[in-house]
Chain A
Amino acid sequence: MTERLVLCAIALAAVSGMPGVALGRKSMAGQWIAAVLAIVGSGLGLAGLVLFWMFDDSQPVVIPWHLPGAEFNVAVDGLSAVFLVPIFVVTMMGQLYGLAYWKQTDYPQNGRKLRFFYGFLTAGMALLVISRNSILFLFGWEIMAVSAFFLVATEDEKPDVREAGWIYLVATHTATLGLIALFGLLHAVSGSYTLAPLAEGSISPAMATSLFALALFGFGLKAGLMPLHVWLPGSHSIAPSHVSATMSGVIIKMGIYGLFRTLSLLPTPPIEWGVVIMTLGAISGVLGMAFAIGQHDLKRLLAYCSIENIGIILLGLGLAVIGRSQGRADLVVLGVSGSLLHVWNHAFFKSLLFLSAGSVIHATHTREIDSMGGLAKAMPWTALAFVVGSVAICGLPPLNGFVSELMIYLGMVDLLEGSSAAFAGGALAAAALALIGTLAVACFVKAYGAVFLGVARSQAARQAHESGLPMLLALGVLSACCFAIALGPLALAPIFDKAVAVWAPDLPEAAPRLVTLAPLNWVTLMGGVLIAALVAARLLLGALLRHNGSTRSVTWGCGYSAATPRVQYTSSSFAQMLVALFSWALRPEVERPKNLPLFPRAARFHSEVGDVVLDEAVLPSFSFTGGLFSRFRVFQQGNIQTYLLYIFIALIALLLWR
């Protein structure tokens, strides 16, 4: 039943945008049809998942296919089920949010295209997650990748949008190339395109490592692992906000899913794989956050945070790989559960943040943080949603980010009990995770402070207004998801135990469960107490203020009530110290006044953090290769006769060959 419901959801999502294409440019009907179809579809899919978790109701659907090697073979297991949740929830909220955010009447030229491909995106992702055949998997993967390209390029009349879309397209196809190699090699060793676990000892260690490296490259590129993240900041910031939310919340998770799935197929991994994954995770986490702090574009900032969260997810995965290689069930359970729960958490709080950022951008018509300010007064609900998202992403209690990070921390502490090498590794990883958390707090204090507190820095920010009901509804549902996970992790534990069993089939039956390893009931209790305390403090403060009377002033006025926007922290100045600390990696472009005279005139300070890997490695190497290939121009004569001659020569060569 589960598979059938999920397939229904896929079909509904795929067709959701089609009626709109046939309807008029200015008609809102297509938009409503799309939203209703997509929401009903996602609802069916989620119902299927509930059936799966409650009754284990899985019947694989296998339909033969004419394509050589391919087979329409879909099944839901513990791992797919976990990844289906963000797909359905986030795209459902995206469609809802889009009703007010990207109205057909406001965007007659591209609204229909957006919804058409948004539906396909949902369908492609759900298909790849449940497919058990590598060719079907690639079909889903490409549907996802190509529709995401059209979504990034929604406003393709703008040159910067075209550029970001182009970079995305190149990156995603490079990833696909890696995956084709991976599945080809997998076929060579297993003799089939079915995604089934390889028997222990059936492949050589060198072959296993090649498979792992290909998976890490292909899926890592999609996940935005540093230094393979070059496509991510541009495309996330340029796309419409609900698309950014989907890309950051769900699409990059498909890379994580791929890594999880591939590792579940391969035999017991060596410990080095775990170390590699953890190192990459730590680098992505720390540097991703450092880059985020240096950004002035609100959505670019959030995009770099996605890289950071991928880092945390990989830290958990690395822990699990180490656990599997050492036969330590506790590490596997904590690592996989922490990592997968963080996949959920990140999907929810990051799409919450992207959607609230979208509301802000919708109201102020700019992505520049330095043109915002003081929006908490004009948009209180959006500001509240942003706070919830920020607290969650910083991994602070009482929100959901804390729960998953706690599990990963516990795993790292468990690692300390091992050998001295393991002790060093665990200690370093825990330190990295702590550093990530600290930087995240700094980053979101900056973002929230500069966007919502203080006074407005531009005319547009002064005239901002709260966004429409569908947008607020989407924000509310996602916030509720964040709270639900934070307060009820105990209820979710069996879901992750199922995923662990799929991921590590060699785990003994009597392995410890998540409930025994993590103090989940304490998390609930503490979270509840903390929330109650916060609410009580707010009520008390309100009562006191009413009683004593109060004067209104601006934030960051420091008692000086006539503050102007010029005395506030800007996004550059707030981040200045941290950017300087990380300048060895960020390479910021700083413009500062030099040789000030005795009586200085007006001077300006400005710092800008670009993407180091893109600007200093990828683009130069591309232009070098481009130069190399331009030598082949001599063959392009523009002369039909010459081209025909080429064909003729090729024909003769093929005839003579052997």
Chain B
Amino acid sequence: MFQIFDVLIIVAVALNFMALGVSRIRGVINAVALQGVLLGIFPLFIHSELGLRGFALMAVAVILKGRVIPAFLIEAIREADIRHEVQPIVSFITSLLLGALGTALALVFSSTLPLTTEHTSLLLVPASFSTVWTGFLMLTTRRKAIMQVLGFLILENGILLFGLLLLEAMPFLVEAGVLLDLFTGVFVMGIIIHHISREFSSISTDDLSELKE
């Protein structure tokens, strides 16, 4: 059982690299969506008894992350007439190298953490740090506002991975709250993207620096 789970986690981390390395926005959206679905079904592997509410919540998370949000983003691209290149500030190779460095550091860092014995063996903690790091990279090194939305989603996935450790302790209400937050966040940013593109006829955040005063 745990063997399969570890493989899934590695796939999730690999999706990080895909998100960092792909040059078309559609590709990044697909990677993030796939990662969301993967994370959505993780509770099945960790906890044998989920109950009806657990299943319902899982289903909502999978549908939101795998279907609704990607569809929304693709719609935004079409609506705002965004070109398909990612346009990174640092090159894709550098992004990938930084991502790899972050993952390595995450492995080192999580081995120093005072975790309970049942958690130390899991890859969950380093994977979580690595995903958060990827999210930050995405947020800081990409020019288009839609990439910030995607970076935010990856960041949230990382936090969710960490949260899986605490699934027993964490009430579902919190989980549901996080999902709602995420959905609203994406929704609001979608609207902002739309407005930025209308105002500046592009969604590059460079134009926003005119507003700094």
Contact = CB atoms under 8 A, between A and B. Distances in A.
A638 B136 contact: no
B164 to A, nearest CB: 21
A641 interface: yes
A654 to B, nearest CB: 14
B137 to A, nearest CB: 9
A640 B136 contact: no
B89 interface: yes
A647 to B, nearest CB: 9
A3 B38 CA distance: 64
A639 B136 contact: no
> Which of B89, B140, B211: most chain A CB closer than 10 A?
B140
B103 to A, nearest CB: 15
A645 interface: yes
Interface in B76-126: 89
Contact of B136 (A636, A637, A644): A644
A648 interface: yes
B21 to A, nearest CB: 19
Interface string A531-544: 00000000000000
Interface stretch (B50-58, B64-72, B167-175, B202-210): B202-210
Contact of B139 (A636, A637, A638, A644): A644
B136 A648 contact: yes
Interface string A615-658: 00000000000000000000011111110110010000000000
B140 A645 contact: yes
Contact of A641 (B89, B210, B211, B212): B89
Contacts of B140: 641-642, 644-645, 648
Contacts of B210: 638
A636 B142 contact: no
B141 interface: yes
Interface residues of A, number: 10
Nearest to B143: A641
A641 B141 contact: yes
A639 B207 CA distance: 9
Given A645-B140, A648-B136, A648-B140, A640 B212 contact: no
> Which of A636, A637, A639: most chain B CB closer than 10 A?
A639
Contact of B212 (A637, A645, A648): A637
Contacts of A637: 209, 212
Interface string A177-209: 000000000000000000000000000000000
A636 B212 CA distance: 8
Contacts of B143: 641
B148 interface: yes
A1 B140 CA distance: 63
B206 A639 contact: yes
A638 B212 CA distance: 5
A645 B205 CA distance: 14
17 contacts: A637-B209, A638-B208, A638-B209, A638-B211, A638-B212, A640-B145, A640-B148, A640-B208, A641-B141, A641-B142, A641-B143, A641-B205, A644-B139, A644-B140, A645-B140, A648-B136, A648-B139
Interface of B: 89, 136, 139-143, 145, 148, 205-206, 208-212
Given A637-B209, A638-B209, A638-B210, 6 more contacts: A636-B212, A641-B141, A641-B143, A644-B140, A648-B136, A648-B140
